[in-house]
Amino acid sequence: MSEPDRTVPPQHQDRQPGRQEPMRPQPRGEQRAYRAAGKLRGKCALVTGGDSGIGRSVCIAFAKEGADVLIGYLEEHEDARETEKLVRQEGVRCVTVAGDLGEEAHADRLVQRALDEFGRIDILVNNAAEQHVVKKLEEIDQAQLERTFRTNFFGLFHLTRAALPHIPQGGCVINTTSVTAYRGNPALIDYSSTKGAIVAFTRSLSQSVIGRGIRVNAVAPGPIWTPLIPATFDEDSVASFGANTPMKRPGQPDEVAPCYVFLASDDSSYMAGQVLHPNGGQVVNG
């Protein structure tokens, strides 16, 4: 793999969720250099936020390892179609389902569609999220607080609750938390709070279901170049994104997705309640 870009040009998108197609440079999320070993052959995965960014790279890596994939996303139809095409190129089944994870009923729809298409759910990846920059706590109104928690945590909770009865022994749940759960972020207070809740949820649920042969772990990415970044920050902030890490650059989705493959496969069979940290060298506890 060639050296990732250390900076990105100033850019901004006016709405969340962001779109991947307008981003320059494009995130590296197609796993073109990935060498598969059939680690997920015969498995079926449900991945939220799978249309772009980290989610896209995870879906493609899973497909390369042999898994069928259901992609849950909000309304980024063009991005979702592109991811579906890339997944299907690996010779596996793929379906896309649009809808708002903030609505509890959508969790049931996602699970039922996965069962209708694949008959099972071996791997659940809770990856969908949103974030909104604020300068101080007083600027976070009730609507934003509820919206951020509804998408980032309540959606994850409802989907996991709906999927668990259908995850067999040997299956797993992988949650996307964030470095902000450990380091905090003064401009992303509500977002960071949801990610902290996900860490606690991961640890607690892992102990609850370990006797059923289901493993629950998480990944805490640092600054990764995804559509969420230009959709969240102003142009100047985007231009310096990732520069404050020890590696002095943003990470790429392809540098994060292998963590999910590891946690989904038997390679991590002795791990539960843990968090992996692809974050550019930032040392955090936990």
pLDDT value of residue 227: 80
Classify residue 138 by burial, with Cβ atoms within 10 Å: 0-12, 13-18, 19+: exposed
pLDDT, position 180? 97
Q: Which of 73, 191, 260, 270 is catalytic?
A: 191
Structural domain spans, the chain: 44-276
Q: State the CATH architecture for 44-276.
A: 3-Layer(aba) Sandwich (3.40)
d(CA 68, CA 54): 17
Question: Is 191 a residue of the active site?
Answer: yes
Write down the pLDDT at residue 69.
Answer: 98
CB atoms within 10 A of CB 88: 14
Contacts of 217 (CB under 8 A, 6+ apart): 172, 173, 174, 175, 202, 206, 263, 268, 271, 272, 273, 274, 275, 276
Mean pLDDT, consecutive 10-residue stretches, the chain (286 aa), reads 70 83 85 95 98 97 98 95 98 98 96 97 97 94 97 98 98 98 96 98 98 98 89 85 93 97 98 98 89
Q: Which pLDDT does position 5 carry in this prediction?
A: 66
The pLDDT value recorded for residue 200 is 98
Helices (H) and strands (E) in the chain, counts: 10, 7
Q: Are 53 and 40 in contact (CB under 8 A)?
A: no
pLDDT at 226: 86
pTM value surpassing 0.75: yes
